[in-house]
Amino acid sequence: MNTNNYYPQAQEFQKELNSRYRVASIWQSLFLFALLIAVLSLTALMYNVIDGAFGYIAYEYKNDPSEFTSTPVNELTQEELLTILQSNLSSGAYKKLNNEQAMQTRSQADLLNLFLERLVQVDTKQTWTMTESIFQREKILQETASNYPEARIEFRSWLTPQFLVSPMSSRAEFAGVRTAVLGSLWLVGIAIAFALPIGTGAAIYLQEYAPKNWFTSLIQININNLAGVPSIVYGMLGLAVFVRLLEPLTSGSMFGISDANGRTILSAGLTMGILVLPLIIINAQEAIKAVPDSLRQASFGVGATRWQTVWHHVLPNALPGILTGSILALSRALGETAPLIVVGASTFISVDPDGPFSKFTALPIQIYQWTTRAQSEFHAIAASGIVVLLVLLLTLNATAILLRNQFQRKY
Amino acid sequence: MENNNNHYSIETKDLCILYGGFTAVRNVNIKVEKQKITAIIGPSGCGKSTLLRAFNRMNDFVPNSYVTGEIFLHGQNLYSKQVDPVEARRKIGMVFQKPNPFPKSIYENIAWGARINGFKGKMDELVEQSLRSAALWDEVKDKLHQSAYALSGGQQQRLCIARTIAIQPEIILMDEPASALDPISTLRIEDLMQELKKNYTIIIVTHNMQQAARVSDYTAMMMIDDNRSGGVIEFDETKKIFTRPSDKRTEDYVTGRFG
């Protein structure tokens, strides 16, 4: 035997083993470090959002509440507020409000907001972040006392139930995300309703029927690339095709709706649908690929046709995976902003979308719009809007995961 | 049966199976007798499974595969234009190497194949009858609506046999049906095959020469040639193959000197 070929023994082996362990532990700590950075950046993101959504606010009343009532503001009942509003608002303004929603049916919180907005006329002077509010409380109080001697100061959560159900307003204190949330839900709904059946169908054809040749490979490569195309490009496509070319359809004029143009929720939803289509196709293909071939053979073996095999075995088994793919698609559609701007989302709109042909706004648009405003209170509601968007995202994902588990448990 | 004096179930004539340009199986000429068990043996990679899958057109799903020559089923070429592969697969059932029940209940595993083939009659009876024929009824009669995946490997394989019987085929192809099972389950499958051959023609691919010797009436010995194409080098009664083989290579293989 050649003595040059040997394995290290005893001491020598121990030495090499130690160096192997050393290398291993270096890599392990690198991976841990990577994880820490990831966790840190996520925490920073969450903190940054939360930080903006709560904090001290200094405000002045243009008209003192005592001019309208002797009861302290916080103890006003619905009836009292109604009487105050009725007697102090101009009859035109009152009628207008009543037309939007009958005054008697409005909640106490809603009426209180109207009272503060229209009669007392709250004027926000300055806002502070949560961190500042906690650690620099004294300084804030002093500043406020010297700069705005008239001002009241209170710790305010910008994220309130009122914020969720109020429509857009030009005053940050009274603005809410209701219109934007409804718009986003409509958008995602239309996008999924359009893209899920078409995407799944395309994936089934590609995986189960299409012959493997250069042409299908070309299609496959294109689909993969389309998934990476910047979303603004899809916005341009949506503008050209849905807003302009198919205006009779998307504006609803085909169905007798006359006062709309093509910049509707339907155009935007379809644009989003096309945007997520490649994602859905790719994910559905992966899910279909993961169905074991033995199952297909078992099905063919008992005399099933291709279609019966796909419908009874491949699809039910791929469904959890297809749903997972649609979760990803849904999250993407919910967060996209750029294509909506191109397709023509309204930046200020206070009426709820009531159908596919209405004008619309969406949460990311609303948030973007608020962050571009100069007043700091708008930044605070932008932060609250982000929290709402994140919660919405998590809720939708959780629903999809529950749905997926439901399908998986069948066997 | 259309042809009463023909006691052969399947006959092949110069059958070649090709993948792209490569001939995987070359010039097979065998006659499979009705209601007998025919075993196909040979070393790994000699095309046993490929040949078996040609008998119910399972190879149709392999891209670029095609056959030349003919396979006759009742005098009709299985690969002629008039024969529909789906119909052929109903007449020629298949049991696979790894048990592959559907991810459904035991009952549904049998009922599904029957239903898609337009079975008319009492489904409960068919399920019971099929499970009895596969010697599985007593073990599962109380849990018909539980998942088939809860069964043991051997039970699953017998369920797959029951599923095949339920669509009333003429021929049952078995691709190493016991290779993933323990010896006791294997014995049960072998006993079952002896029962089944009263009504069905069975063709079995096996790695296990003892198994071929125990269960089969006829044996086809396959071997790879210099072009790496498989072919049947000897086809005869099992007794003869294992005692007085005419080909030297068969003798080497069955006596364990090779393979």
What's the burial of A82, exposed, middle or buried (CB within 10 Å: 0-12/13-18/19+)?
Answer: middle
Q: Which residues of B touch A (CB under 8 A)?
A: 56, 58, 61, 63, 86-87, 89-90, 93-94, 96, 98, 100-104, 112-113, 116-117, 147, 149, 160, 163-164, 167
Mean pLDDT taken over chain B: 90
Segment B162-199, tens digit of pLDDT: 999 999 999 999 999 988 888 998 999 999 999 999 99
Q: Are A340 and A364 in contact (CB under 8 A)?
A: yes
Residue B77 CA to chain centroid, in angstroms? 19
Contact partners, residue B30, CB within 8 Å, separation at least 6:
B10, B11, B12, B38, B220, B232, B235
SS3 label, residue B244 = coil
* Cα–Cα distance for residue pair A7/A1, rounded to 1 Å: 13
Q: Return the residue in B97, B102, B156 with the most chain A beta carbons within 10 A, the one to mutate for interface testing.
A: B102
Contact residues, chain A, for B147 at CB < 8 Å: 411
Is pTM beyond 0.95 here? Answer: no
Backbone angles phi, psi at A246, to 5 degrees: -100, 30
Low-confidence stretches of chain B (pLDDT beneath 50): 1-4
In degrees, rounded to 5, the angle at the alpha carbon of residue B206 between the alpha carbons of residues B205 and B211 is 125
Q: Which two tokens stand for residue A306?
A: 């291709």
Question: How far away is chain A from the Cα of B250, in angstroms, using its nearest Cα?
Answer: 32
Among A212, A305, A313, beta carbon nearest to B102: A313
Return d(Cα A163, Cα A261) in angstroms, integer: 30
- Token pair of A205 as six digits: 């054809």
How confident is the model at residue A404, as a pLDDT?
Answer: 79
Is residue B161 within 8 A of residue B94, CB to CB? The reply is no
Please state, in angstroms and as integers, the Cα–Cα distance from residue A283 to each residue in A207, A316, B257, following that order.
Answer: 12, 15, 52
CATH ID of A179-410, from 3.30.70.890, 2.40.50.100, 3.20.20.140, 1.10.3720.10: 1.10.3720.10
- β-bridge pairing B218-224 and B230-237: antiparallel
pLDDT at A410: 52
The answer to whether residues A20 and A12 touch, using CB atoms and an 8 Å cutoff, is no
Nearest Cα residue to B174 out of B153, B155, B157: B157
> Which amino acid type is present at position A213?
N
Complex ipTM: 0.91
The answer to whether the beta carbons of residues B145 and B123 sit under 8 Å apart is no
What's the pLDDT score for residue A385?
92
Indicate if the alpha-carbon torsion angle A314, A317, A319, A325 is positive or negative.
negative
Mean pLDDT computed over every residue of chain A:
87
Does residue A228 sit at the B interface (CB-CB below 8 Å)? no
Domain ranges of chain A: 58-165, 179-410
pLDDT tens digits along A162-219: 888 888 877 888 888 888 999 999 999 999 999 999 999 999 999 999 988 899 999 9
CA distances from A85 to A91, A94, A95, A100, A172 (A): 10, 8, 11, 15, 21
Distance (Å, whole) CA B52 – CA B10:
11
Chain A CB contacts of B165 under 8 Å are none
Which residues of chain B are within 8 Å of residue A217 when distances are taken between CB atoms?
A: none
DSSP letter at A91 equals H
- Nearest-Cα distance to chain B for A285, in Å, is 18
Question: Looking at the partner chain, which of A295, A300, A313 has a beta carbon nearest the beta carbon of B58?
Answer: A300
Q: How far apart are CA A284 and CA A287, in angstroms?
A: 5
Q: Which residues pair with B228 in a beta bridge?
A: none
> Under a CB-based contact definition with an 8 Å cutoff, are residues A360 and A346 in contact?
yes
Cβ-based neighbours of A293, under 8 Å, separated by 6 or more: none
Full pLDDT tens readout for chain A, 411 residues? 567 888 888 899 999 999 999 999 999 999 999 999 999 999 999 999 889 888 888 888 878 777 787 777 777 788 888 888 888 888 888 888 787 777 777 777 778 878 887 787 888 888 888 888 888 888 888 888 888 888 888 888 888 888 888 888 778 888 888 889 999 999 999 999 999 999 999 999 999 999 888 999 999 999 999 988 999 999 999 999 998 888 888 887 777 776 667 888 899 999 999 999 999 999 999 999 999 999 999 999 999 999 999 999 999 999 888 988 888 888 889 988 889 988 888 777 777 788 888 888 889 999 998 999 888 888 888 999 999 999 988 888 888 788 778 777 554
Closest CA to B103 of B61, B142, B60, B147: B147
Alpha helices in A229-314 (DSSP H): 231-238, 247-250, 265-289, 293-301, 306-309
Chain A contact set for B96 (CB, 8 A): 294, 297-298, 301
Q: Rounded to an integer, what distance in angstroms lies between the CA atom of residue A103 and that of residue A79?
A: 11
Asked if residues B178 and B163 have their Cβ atoms less than 8 Å apart, the reply is no
Question: Which H helix or E strand runs over B115?
Answer: helix B106-116
Size of interface A-B (CB pairs under 8 A): 63
The amino acid sitting at B229 is: S
Q: Tell me: the pLDDT tens digits for B193-237?
A: 999 999 999 999 998 888 999 999 999 999 998 888 999 999 999
Min Cα–Cα distance to chain A from B103, Å? 6
pLDDT for res A117: 78
Which secondary structure element, helix H or strand E, spans residue A145, and what is its range? helix A137-147
Which residue bears the tokens 């070429």? Answer: B77
CB-count burial class (<10 Å; 0-12, 13-18, 19+) for A4: exposed
Q: Do A303 and B117 touch (CB under 8 A)?
A: yes
Are the Cβ atoms of B167 and A303 closer than 8 angstroms? yes
How high is the pLDDT of residue A110? 77
